[in-house]
Amino acid sequence: MNPLVQLHWRQWEDEWLVFERASGRTHQMNSLSAFVAMSLENGESSLDALVDQVSGQFDLADSAQTRIAVLAVVRQFEDLGLVIALEA
Amino acid sequence: MIVSALPPGGVDDRLRADGLVIRTGPFNFRIDSPIRSVAEGVALLYADYPMADDSEFVDFSVTIGHGSGLHRWFRPQARFIYDGDSPFEPLPANHAHPLLEWAMNWCISSQAHQYLILHAAVIEHSGGAVVLPAPPGSGKSTLCAGLIHRGWRLMSDELAMISLYDGCIVPLARPVSLKNESIDIIRRYVPGAVLSRETPDTSKGTVAHLKVPAEQVRRANEPAVPRWVVFPRYVAGAPPRLTPRPKADSMFELARNAFNYSLLGLTGFEVLGDVITSCDCYDFEYSELDDAVATFDRLATAHP
């Protein structure tokens, strides 16, 4: 996670909105995006570990598809400036 | 003392002299204008509003003046003047009264940052407020105008002001702006409705303003707790349909249509988040005002 990022969360069932203080932007997230963002916020910096956590959290068997989905979310976060770089 | 207590011609005299200070909700507006149609509009639509006395603070001083130079007489114009500046382009002189209403909206939406201000109508029933966000042309003002004549109280037809302190909605209770076909719709739906003169050829088409019932003006210092967020959409011939809307999506849409959500930063996020948490959110499709009244009444009685 970008060290300048401070996230503030709101959740209603499986919907999330997150406010990023430095940019003042509000992002709407689904369960997967929110979980990835929270994991990164908690200090997770390894893509492999992130994929494992997501697989466990959402009970996903297909690790290849999970990795693709997680990578897509991480790329989106990179575009938004929320993430700098992840270890492979 | 209310505006209608002034002697005949009194509104015009005051507007041309030291100004007329009117209280609308939490704000005192001083209005100055040498233009007769402004005085006529104010005398008609603000008849029941209290005038502030000389000791009270004036929040906004609004002048609707004549056009400058040649436009004082040739293709005469009206100008909005605020703090010595003209925030808007001049308009044709016959748009002077609607210009006053738009100017008052601008003052609040650009400066009253002690509130989170949403682009939405708000009505109230039994202490609970319904926020009606909608883009222009969605029918929210027509809906608002109809409901306030069927047991609902007007809080605002344009600016939903949410207190940053306690999350309550603070009323403005200013005249309701109607456009084009909605003017005749409300004339038929509310026999005896008091409307300003119609102003054609504005940027919004033909506009007129609806006078707020006096008892609702008298309650313009009563806030209300937000209980519902309803996104209305007029669809010709459609049966009434109220469908739940996801909260995150509702909040995102409200934020997009807020005047100062970005300015308020984290405070705006938290205040709006609290509003959404406490509200049921819906989409509402309708074509007949009576259907809308019945739907909203059921909403109020089912979840008081």
Residue B36 in this model has a pLDDT that exceeds 60: yes
pLDDT of residue A45: 76
Distance CA B130, CA B136 (A): 18
Are the CB atoms for B225 and B278 separated by under 8 Å? Answer: yes
C-alpha distances in angstroms, B38 versus B9, B46, B190, B226? 12, 11, 25, 34
Distance CA B40, CA B222 (A): 28
Distance CA A38, CA A49 (A): 13
Residues 6+ apart with CB under 8 A from A61: A55
Q: How confident is the model at residue A1 (pLDDT cuts 50, 70, 90)?
A: confident
Residue B253 in this model has a pLDDT that exceeds 70: yes
From the list B248, B262, B270, the residue facing A15 with the nearest CB is: B248
Alpha helices in chain A (DSSP H): 31-41, 47-58, 63-80
* Residue B274 C-alpha, separation from nearest chain A C-alpha, in angstroms: 9
Distance CA B64, CA B102 (A): 11
Contact B246 A12 (CB under 8 A): yes
pLDDT of residue B240: 95
pLDDT of residue B69: 81
pLDDT of residue B134: 79
pLDDT of residue B103: 97
Contact B273 A10 (CB under 8 A): yes
From the list B262, B266, B277, the residue facing A21 with the nearest CB is: B266
Q: What is the pLDDT of residues B149-167, one digit of tens each?
A: 999 999 999 999 999 999 9
Contact A15 B277 (CB under 8 A): no
C-alpha distances in angstroms, B211 versus B7, B42, B187, B292? 20, 10, 12, 21
For A23, the token pair is 């940019």
Which amino acid appears at position B38 of this protein?
V
pLDDT of residue B213: 97
Distance CA B133, CA B276 (A): 13
In chain B, what residues touch A17 (CB-CB under 8 Å)?
Answer: 248, 251-252, 269, 273
Mean pLDDT of B214-237: 95
Residue B303 in this model has a pLDDT that exceeds 70: no
Mean pLDDT of B28-41: 96
For B228, the token pair is 């519902």
Q: Strand B199-202: give its sheet, edge to edge.
A: B176-179, B205-210, B199-202
C-alpha distances in angstroms, B108 versus B25, B48, B61, B133, B159? 11, 21, 12, 17, 8
Judge whether A41 is closer than 8 Å to chain B, CB to CB: no
Q: What average pLDDT does the structure give for chain B?
A: 94
For B79, the token pair is 């100008």
Please say whether the dihedral angle defined by the alpha carbons of residues A66, A71, A77 and A82, taken in this order, is positive or negative.
positive
Q: What is the pLDDT of residues A18-71, one digit of tens each?
A: 999 989 999 999 999 999 999 999 887 788 888 888 988 888 877 888 899 999
pLDDT of residue B304: 57
Contact B246 A17 (CB under 8 A): no
Judge whether B270 is closer than 8 Å to chain A, CB to CB: yes
Q: How confident is the model at residue B214 (pLDDT cuts 50, 70, 90)?
A: very high
Paired residues of A2 in beta bridges: none
Q: What is the DSSP letter of B35?
A: -
pLDDT of residue B190: 96
Single out the residue of B46, B220, B25, B176 nearest to residue B114, CA to CA. B25
For B52, the token pair is 């502030």
What is the residue whose two structure tokens read 């209310």?
Answer: B2
* Residue B287 C-alpha, separation from nearest chain A C-alpha, in angstroms: 31
Residues 6+ apart with CB under 8 A from B19: B30, B31, B32, B61
Which range, of B76-85, B116-125, B143-152, averages the lowest pLDDT?
B76-85
Q: What is the DSSP letter of B203?
A: T
What is the residue whose two structure tokens read 């005002």?
Answer: B289
Q: What is the pLDDT of residues B74-107, one digit of tens each?
A: 888 999 999 889 999 999 999 999 999 999 999 9
Single out the residue of B244, B250, B237 nearest to residue B291, CA to CA. B237
Mean pLDDT of B210-237: 96
Burial of residue B147 (number of CB atoms within 10 Å: 0-12, 13-18, 19+): buried
Burial of residue B185 (number of CB atoms within 10 Å: 0-12, 13-18, 19+): middle
Residue A8 in this model has a pLDDT that exceeds 60: yes
Residues 6+ apart with CB under 8 A from B280: B227, B228, B229, B244, B303
pLDDT of residue A47: 86
Q: Which residue of A has its CA nearest to B251?
A: A17
Q: How confident is the model at residue B67 (pLDDT cuts 50, 70, 90)?
A: confident
Contact A12 B265 (CB under 8 A): no
Coil, helix or strand at residue B163:
strand
Residue B197 in this model has a pLDDT that exceeds 90: yes
Q: What is the pLDDT of residues B254-298, one digit of tens each?
A: 999 899 999 999 999 999 999 999 999 999 999 999 999 999 999
Distance CA B201, CA B203 (A): 7
pLDDT of residue B75: 85
Query: What is the enclosing helix (H) or strand (E) of B272?
Result: helix B261-278
In chain A, what residues touch B269 (CB-CB under 8 Å)?
Answer: 8, 10, 17, 19, 26
Are the CB atoms for B234 and B287 separated by under 8 Å? Answer: yes
Alpha helices in B24-128 (DSSP H): 36-45, 96-111
